[in-house]
Amino acid sequence: MRVIAEERANPSFPVREMTHFLDGGVRVTETREMIMMQLERDPVMKTIDHNDLTLPQIRERTIQKIRRLAHYVANEPVAQFRQRLSILSLVDPGTYTRIGVHYGLFFSALQGQASAEQLSYWVQKGAVTLNGLVGCFGMTELGHGSNVAGLETTATYDEASEEFVIHTPTLTATKWWIGGAAQTATHCVVFARLIVKGRDHGVKNFVVQLRDPETFALMPGVVIGDIGAKMGRHGIDNGWIQFTHVRIPRSHMLMKHTKVKASGEVIEPPLQQLTYGALIGGRVSMVVDSGNASKKALTIALRYAAIRRQFGARPGEPETKILDYVIHQHRLIPLLAQAFAMHFTGVEVQNIYEDLMVKMETLKPGDKDLHTVLEHLKEVHGTSAGLKAFCTWNALNTIDQCRQSLGGHGYSAYAGLASLYNDFAVQCTWEGDNTILTLQAGRYLVGCYREAKAGKKQAGGVAYLNDLQALLRNRCQAKSAAEIDLDVIGQAYWLVAGNVVKAAGEEFDACIKRGLREDDAYEHCSQARLYAAKMHSYGYLFHRFKDGVAKAPASLQPILTKLCLLYGLYNIAENSGPFLQYEFFTPRHLDWIRARVAELCKDIRKDAVPITDSFNYSDFVINSPLGRYDGDIYQAYFDLINAAHPPAKVPPYFKSEIHPLLHRNTQADDPLELDDDE
Amino acid sequence: MRVIAEERANPSFPVREMTHFLDGGVRVTETREMIMMQLERDPVMKTIDHNDLTLPQIRERTIQKIRRLAHYVANEPVAQFRQRLSILSLVDPGTYTRIGVHYGLFFSALQGQASAEQLSYWVQKGAVTLNGLVGCFGMTELGHGSNVAGLETTATYDEASEEFVIHTPTLTATKWWIGGAAQTATHCVVFARLIVKGRDHGVKNFVVQLRDPETFALMPGVVIGDIGAKMGRHGIDNGWIQFTHVRIPRSHMLMKHTKVKASGEVIEPPLQQLTYGALIGGRVSMVVDSGNASKKALTIALRYAAIRRQFGARPGEPETKILDYVIHQHRLIPLLAQAFAMHFTGVEVQNIYEDLMVKMETLKPGDKDLHTVLEHLKEVHGTSAGLKAFCTWNALNTIDQCRQSLGGHGYSAYAGLASLYNDFAVQCTWEGDNTILTLQAGRYLVGCYREAKAGKKQAGGVAYLNDLQALLRNRCQAKSAAEIDLDVIGQAYWLVAGNVVKAAGEEFDACIKRGLREDDAYEHCSQARLYAAKMHSYGYLFHRFKDGVAKAPASLQPILTKLCLLYGLYNIAENSGPFLQYEFFTPRHLDWIRARVAELCKDIRKDAVPITDSFNYSDFVINSPLGRYDGDIYQAYFDLINAAHPPAKVPPYFKSEIHPLLHRNTQADDPLELDDDE
């Protein structure tokens, strides 16, 4: 413990002030601390034995936790309940997802797709308080994921009875991966093809009751199964659902946008774009999650590295702390800088998104700022797609690097990083597979490039495309390593992003010129789109980090500036190809950059433990003996494992299996030797 | 099924011939097929329900399997048993490790460290047949991993009784992660500091009995605990062991090298280097494992991608197979090429290693080829360190990329890739943490560079360092994409490796010149060493692949040449920085290379399913409905999950948890409203 105290003796920045700055104010910090204390002291919320529960036990524990949370949903302000869920997502991702399916998917679908009258009907039924109904979200099917337009489930309107008939026509149309379906939900928002008078109107949303809330018996025509074991998030009960000609009233189709009248007349919405605003919220929150999960993993890895010693002992001295090795600093400190980049980007994108949502709520066809809002929506949609992909990949990589940095202990479930990885991994897939999202982001960038080329001014994060010719002529003028500052790095990212976006745009244009259909042209330049999205997103993260530093209190500027420099320079060193290819930097600049990365790692290392402290995650949230605040890692780790597995007795299968193995009479197997001469 | 048949209709190469070539001959293929059939038909060996067993059930199942395997160890040739274990390692890594700890670690330690007389004693006790004893390997401690020299456990010689006293002096000295210790082993090879007459002679090996084979009671002074839940390999019972002044006879110290006489006289071995040959075997086999695990993951991902359809439907047509998308080809086909690179490298390094071991077995001080053999040992030691690290990282990444490429289904345990990942992950840590090994490899390369500079000719994989000045002047002369052939690519890798090894060597020399101790100088240039090891290892893999292609039958040359080109070019495109920085390629070359990578992906895609067939893993080995040979993926996946989880009944906690949640009387919580005016 003395060892970790020395790590905290001389932080170069005021730690508590950093916490307030990251949280967004003293009040937020206080609320978070109150919530952490409530979680930690509530015996129902315990997580310490998670690694040793069976799947049925985890499922039951999870629903107990949801009952506790239901108290708060009815008794605290929405913003505070969101803070609670955000902390829960780090403590227990399975429980978070199980309750999140109801609020984040089922209820969000109602908010986004139900008419005002419908919304009020479902709220009255208990959709806000979880009292009377629990919802799930029936989008994906066994044979259909990212391409919602390809779903097979049908909702056929029957004019005679004024009902929809929900039906699963094939095996591949089985609703699949539906969180909460297996053991929790009474109702489901089902994505199904609206068929009216034989005509297919595309995929719309319908509320279908799955179970009787009194008995939990399945409704007639509904069959549900549990899809069983998963990589992680074991608390959430994903299931499959098949509907066999299930009838629902017409009012159960969500009709904020498309409407079906009693007569069967279908009225399409005037503004199709508004229906996809809802997807963005999830993506934005995953940028924030990526920063938070990274901070948690790094807290464990850095505190462990400040205690663990290995090699390098000189006579009479202890071995060297692994955090003092150049290579260990290089493994972790750039990831720490990246966590800050994701943090600041998350905050900014969340703000942009919330502003936009407020505007969209009240938007009507014909409004004078309609065009501006729609342009803004397009930007947020395109940008958030790339950010969701690269941030979740970055976070997953951070978690794995942190796990590996613990050596063998990283492979123990009790270190907490294996489950963090397994729980987090799904973020790269759900709400838009990352690779598909990078292509969407790339398509958006190609579009921006072509608009800019045609003289249409681009705003926000793609404004660098406006005067591309001038931008692409930029060359780094730095005469020393010190001259490569945040502004120069910002220029470097814009230049590279500009070049790769231009390359993708030119490839696209060439395809069109060769006579390809637009979709085929986009398909042809997929790899270029992905690359454009990658370099644009890296640059976007850097610029948001840089903006965040500018807004920081003076006392925090020096450390944040170092972290921002490291983030920018490290990624240039690791992806040096395009920076050389487009001649912004020379090989000599790169040598300086590599040396500067090493200096920065060494310098920031001194603040490594105070920085983890500034993240302000309690030991309960960290849930790893190796990442304890007090640094007493070995005793805590040993005690935790011994509590779960008291010293070995004779294994239950000793008599039946091991004793017979050890006492085989192998000679009994010797065959009769035939005497061929006889 | 028709769909997958069309994938097999026109392979560009003879598939069965490829299998024989990869296996190393028709006879090997036949043996492997026999073993796969024996595994598949034996009910004890079943794996289909693995995802739904509890930890105690898995542990029991594992020991049942080991009893079955014990039959073969006594009744088939060693080479065939090794094939059996190699297949087992893909089918059931937990069981493989549990038996592998005995043979690969405990028994290998006896072979490498015991005198002939001692070895024969332990063989007689049952060390070969697993009859009478099962061994484990007590190296790592709670506070000590990669640095064996830092272990704390002591073995103090007591001349009076002619015994060693084995003791765990501190908590951090607790033997930790010991596979087989918790529930299986009767004996342990313990790594402990040899203390004789108060003097510490460093870490040596001692056989300590842990349990009575009759009752499985722990021996006095031995305490063992189970270290519990892990990321993967659940079948292996890792444990911790504490020794409290446990006495063992003098003859239980393994004395092939260092000897302790009855009097307490310590005799050190004449050739210290020979003691580290044993570590190399594990590293070499992990290169092979990395290729095999990659092939398994890719079989699942590529077959799935040939069936799964998404997006791109034109009126009246089905959606497009995801394997037909440029981006999906780019995700998987370069990894397929990499699997071949690891395969050929594994085969070659295994051969080199086996030759070397034969020579070392018979080597004595004073032999005339002693120096050559030791030089060779040094090369294999240095090279295998880097290969182990980069190949296991590559394989882990391949598995994760394959998992992600399945979309949501990749997150299902039944798809098989989550457990493949979790089981494989430990390979990056055990038998030498990858990062530490890259530094060892880099240190070896710096040494070679300095020797070469001093005029000492380098052989084998580092021969390119001999005439470095000439090498580094090379520039690619290709006037078209087609001219960038295997030889040019080979030159490119040597030039880059030569440059980065030189940079590391120069940085080291500069540190020495500044007066740093050798160890501090190496520490200072850690990042340069890691980079040198990386580029050297990539080049080494490419050259071994190229050599392998040259040895292939003519009928296989075209497809293997394409794969080898793709491997070489893809890694250049992905790591373009140094190829530009050292000016072997120009930006224009790189544009050609990127275009060529795209062409090769598209071309090899046509053979993708036949290539997975050539790996010749049975459906039992693949153990994923999504990777089935017959392509009937959806029905098999649905049936498997339903067999494990028959359609949902009311969850057991409905009455206790869900009903009360759904029927809360929230109004009962309304507080008394105080009337302040009263």
Distance of CA B194 to the CA centre of its chain: 31
* pLDDT category of residue A275 using cuts at 50, 70 and 90: low
Give me the pLDDT at residue B360, please: 80
pLDDT at A270 over 80: no
Ranges A530-539, B371-380, B419-428, B469-478: which has the least confidence: B371-380
A657 sits in which H/E element: none
Predicted confidence (pLDDT) per residue in A189-232, tens digit: 999 999 999 999 999 999 999 999 999 999 999 999 999 999 99
A234: exposed, middle or buried (Cβ count in 10 Å: 0-12, 13-18, 19+): buried
Regarding predicted confidence, which is higher, B58 or A362? B58
How many Å from the N-terminal Cα to the C-terminal Cα in chain B? 82
- Per residue, what are the HEC states of A81-107? HHHHHHHHHHHCHHHHHHHHHHHHHHH
Q: Which of A51, A325, A666 is opposite residue B526, by nearest beta carbon?
A: A325
The answer to whether ipTM exceeds 0.85 is yes
Backbone angles phi, psi at B140, to 5 degrees: -65, 150
More confident residue, B278 or A339: A339
Identity of the amino acid at B87: I
Q: How confident is the model at residue B678 (pLDDT cuts 50, 70, 90)?
A: low
Beta carbons of B638 and A174 less than 8 Å apart: yes
Return the pLDDT at B669: 62
Q: Encoding tokens for residue B641?
A: 């999950």
Q: Which of A152, A163, A348, A431 is catalytic?
A: A431
What is the average pLDDT value for chain B, to the nearest integer? Answer: 95
Q: Report the pLDDT averaged over residues A20-33.
A: 98
Query: Is residue A496 within 8 Å of residue A466, measured between CB atoms?
Result: no
d(CA A231, CA A182): 17
Backbone angles phi, psi at B104, to 5 degrees: -80, -25
Overall average pLDDT of the A312-324 stretch: 86
d(CA A192, CA A208): 11
Confidence class of residue B7 from pLDDT cuts 50, 70 and 90?
A: very high
DSSP letter assigned to residue A197: T
Q: pLDDT tens-digit profile of A386-401?
A: 999 999 999 999 999 9
Confidence of residue B399 (pLDDT cuts 50, 70, 90): very high
Percent of chain B residues past pLDDT 70, beyond the cut: 98
- Indicate the residue of B229, B642, B650 with minimum beta-carbon distance to A52: B229
With residue B187 as reference, give the H or E element that holds it: strand B187-196
* DSSP assigned state of A175: E
Q: Is the CB of residue B197 less than 8 Å away from at least one CB of chain A?
A: no
The 10s digit of each residue's pLDDT in B301-350 is: 999 999 999 988 777 788 999 999 999 999 999 999 999 999 999 999 99
Residues B609, B306 contacting (CB under 8 angstroms): yes
Which band of pLDDT confidence, cut at 50, 70 and 90, is reported for residue B147?
confident
Q: What are the pLDDT digits (tens) for B617-633?
A: 999 999 999 999 999 99
Q: How does pLDDT run across B465-496, given as a tens digit for each residue?
A: 999 999 999 999 999 999 999 999 999 999 99
User: Cα angle at B220 between B214 and B221, to 5 degrees?
Assistant: 140
- Residue A668 makes CB contacts below 8 A (sequence gap 6+) with none
Query: Residue A568: is its pLDDT beyond 70?
Result: yes
Question: Under an 8 A CB cutoff, do B225 and A652 touch?
Answer: no
pLDDT at A372: 85
Query: Residues with Cβ < 8 Å from A203, sequence gap 6 or more?
Result: A148, A149, A151, A191, A192, A193, A194
The number of angstroms, rounded, from the C-alpha of B442 to the middle of its chain's C-alpha atoms is: 20
Instruction: Tell me: pLDDT of B146 over 90.
Output: no
Residue B106 is predicted with a pLDDT of 96
Subunit contact A430:B418, Cβ cutoff 8 A: no
- On whether the CB atoms of residues A613 and A630 are closer than 8 A, the answer is no
Q: Residue B123: CB partners within 8 Å, gap ≥ 6?
A: none
SS3 content of chain A, % helix, strand, coil (to 5): 65, 10, 25
Please tell me the predicted confidence (pLDDT) of residue B64.
Answer: 97
The size of chain A, in residues, is: 678
Name B412's bridge partners: A230
| Inter-CA distances, A120 with A114, A117, A358, A379, Å | 9, 5, 20, 32
The Cβ of residue B503 has, within 10 Å, a number of other Cβ atoms equal to 19
Alpha helices in A244-367 (DSSP H): 277-307, 326-361
Neighbours of B34 (CB within 10 A): 13
Find chain A residues with C-beta within 8 A of B598's C-beta.
527
Task: Give the per-residue pLDDT at A318.
Answer: 87
Is 70 exceeded by the pLDDT of residue A273? no
B521-563 per-position pLDDT tens digit: 999 999 999 999 999 999 999 999 999 999 999 999 999 999 9
The Cα–Cα gap between A385 and A399 comes to: 21
- Please tell me which residue of chain A has the smallest CA distance to B312: A519
pLDDT at B615: 98
User: Looking at residue B667, what is its pLDDT?
Assistant: 65
pLDDT band at A668 (very low <50, low <70, confident <90, very high): low
Residue B58 has pLDDT above 80, yes or no: yes
pLDDT at B446: 98
Furthest CA-CA distance within chain B: 111
Backbone angles phi, psi at A166, to 5 degrees: -90, 130
Contact B325 A174 (CB under 8 A): no
Domains and CATH numbers, chain A: 133-262 (2.40.110.10), 277-660 (1.20.140.10)
DSSP assignment of B456-494 equals PPP-GGGGGGTTHHHHHT-----SSGGG--HHHHHHHHH
DSSP characters for A492-516?
HHHHHHHHHHHHHHHHHHHHHHTT-
Please, how many CA atoms are within 13 Å of residue A125, restricted to the half-sphere of its CB?
Answer: 17
Strand partners, B266: B260
Query: What pLDDT does B276 receive?
Result: 59
- Cβ–Cβ under 8 Å, residues A276 and A381: yes
Task: Tell me if B664 and A70 make a contact (CB, 8 A cut-off).
Answer: yes
Q: Residues 477 to 536 of B: which have CB under 8 A from any A CB? A: 519, 523-524, 526-527, 530
Query: What local confidence, expressed as pLDDT, does residue A493 receive?
Result: 98
What does the pLDDT look like over A254-268, one tens digit per residue? Answer: 999 999 999 999 999
| A279 or B405, higher pLDDT | B405
CB atoms within 10 A of CB B659: 15
CB B613 within 8 A of CB B22: no
Express each pLDDT in A52-87 by its tens digit. Answer: 999 999 999 999 999 999 989 888 999 999 999 999
Q: Which of B411, B527, B641 sits opposite A425 (nearest CB)?
A: B411
Is B507 considered catalytic here?
no
Calpha distance B584→B572 (Å, rounded): 11
Contacts with A, B 1-20, CB within 8 Å? none
Query: Taking all residues of chain A, what is their mean pLDDT, rounded to a whole number?
Result: 94
Mapped onto helix, strand or coil, the DSSP state of residue B665 is coil
Residues in A closer than 8 angstroms to B150, CB to CB, are 310-311, 313, 319
Question: Do residues A501 and A446 make contact, with C-beta atoms less than 8 angstroms apart?
Answer: yes
Q: Touching check for B250 and chain A: CB below 8 Å?
A: no
Q: Tokens standing for A317?
A: 């001295």
B408 pLDDT exceeds 70?
yes
Distance CA B74, CA B123 (A): 13
How far, in Å, CA of A50 to CA of A205, rounded? 36
Of all residues in chain A, the percent with pLDDT exceeding 90 is: 88
Q: What is the CA radius of gyration of chain A?
A: 28
**Which of B215, B226, B650 comes nearest A648 by C-beta?**
B226
pLDDT value for B272 = 64
Residues 384-403 in B contacting A (C-alpha not used; CB under 8 Å):
403
Secondary structure percentages of chain B, helix, strand, coil, to 5: 65, 10, 30
B493/B543 Cα distance (integer angstroms): 9
Q: Which residue, among B67, B233, B211, has the nearest Cα to A656 in the 3D structure?
A: B67
Kindly state the tokens that stand for B650: 């009311």
Sign of CA dihedral B632, B635, B638, B644: negative
Position B269 confidence tier, pLDDT thresholds 50, 70, 90? confident
Q: How many CB atoms lie within 10 A of CB A287?
A: 26
Distance from C-alpha of A36 to C-alpha of B385, rounded to nearest angstrom: 45
Local confidence band at B363 (pLDDT 50, 70, 90 cut-offs) = confident
